[in-house]
């Protein structure tokens, strides 16, 4: 294998198996373990790879409700609010967005009472002008990653 697309191949290999050893990655990519290690370190330093973590199936742990919270926020408070929202233990994603709402948060909750308590806590925040919540009924895909195309 040439090194021209090595970083992309390495990322794709890790998407397929995030627990792959340096040795198995080197064998798969037909390069040395040192080369894999150097490229992996570079990808981490550049922020392309931001850690290695399991994909948790929260439903299997009793978090049966997924909710999408859409929030309208007082303009200057947006950075502070998104930071506070990230601080909520059960918020798994927080996005600043365009459109009718300013922030979208996705949370995992044990039940609707748990979700309701979190929403009430959020709505007590003076920086939130309006909210809308959607409860997820079915999850055909979640936490999906895609392989990077090689030109």
**CB contact burial 6-24 (16+ within 10 A = b; e otherwise):** bbebbbbbbeeeeebeeee
pLDDT at 23 over 70: yes
pLDDT at 144 over 60: yes
Same structural domain for residues 77 and 119? yes
Of the candidates 17, 20, 51, which has an alpha carbon nearest to the alpha carbon of residue 33?
20
50 domain-assigned: no
Enclosing domain of residue 24? 3-45
- CA 95 – CA 97 distance, rounded (Å): 6
Q: Which helix (H) or strand (E) holds 103?
A: strand 103-109
- Confidence (pLDDT) at 52: 87
- Confidence (pLDDT) at 123: 84
Tens digits of residue pLDDT in 37-49: 999 999 999 999 9
Q: What is the mean pLDDT of residues 3-15?
A: 91
Same structural domain for residues 33 and 93? no
Quote the number of domains for the chain: 2
- Confidence (pLDDT) at 2: 61
Residue 107: CA count within 13 A, CB half-sphere: 27
Q: What percent of the chain has a predicted confidence (pLDDT) above 70?
A: 99
What is the average pLDDT value for the chain, to the nearest integer?
Answer: 93
150 domain-assigned: no
- Confidence (pLDDT) at 77: 92
- CA 139 – CA 59 distance, rounded (Å): 11
Q: What percent of the chain has a predicted confidence (pLDDT) above 90?
A: 80
145 domain-assigned: no
User: What are 61's two structure tokens?
Assistant: 């742990």
Same structural domain for residues 34 and 76? no
141 domain-assigned: no
Q: What is the mean pLDDT of residues 40-64?
A: 93
Same structural domain for residues 79 and 129? yes
Q: Quickly tell me which residue has 């409700």 as its tokens.
A: 65
Q: Order across the sheet with 65-73: list the strands.
A: 91-96, 103-109, 65-73, 128-135
Tens digits of residue pLDDT in 67-103: 999 999 988 999 999 999 999 999 999 999 999 999 9
Would you say 44 and 14 are in contact if contact means Cβ atoms under 8 Å apart?
Answer: no
Q: Which residues contact 42 (CB under 8 A, 6 or more apart)?
A: 7
Same structural domain for residues 64 and 129? yes
Same structural domain for residues 41 and 7? yes
24 domain-assigned: yes
Q: What is the CATH number of the domain that holds 30?
A: 1.10.10
């Amino acid at each position: 294998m040439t090194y021209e697309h090595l970083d992309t191949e390495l990322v794709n290999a890790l998407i397929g198996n995030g627990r792959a050893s340096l040795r198995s990655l080197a064998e798969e990519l037909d390069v040395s373990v040192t080369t894999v290690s150097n490229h992996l370190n570079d990808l981490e330093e550049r922020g392309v790879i931001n850690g290695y973590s399991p994909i948790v199936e929260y439903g299997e742990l009793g978090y049966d409700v997924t909710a999408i919270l859409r929030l309208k926020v007082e303009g200057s408070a947006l950075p502070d609010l998104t930071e506070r929202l990230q601080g909520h233990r059960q918020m798994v994603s927080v996005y600043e967005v365009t459109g009718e709402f300013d922030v979208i948060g996705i949370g995992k909750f044990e039940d609707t009472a748990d979700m309701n308590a979190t929403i009430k806590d959020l709505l007590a925040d003076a920086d939130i002008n309006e909210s809308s919540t959607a409860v997820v009924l079915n999850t055909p895909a979640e936490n999906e990653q895609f392989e990077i195309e090689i030109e």
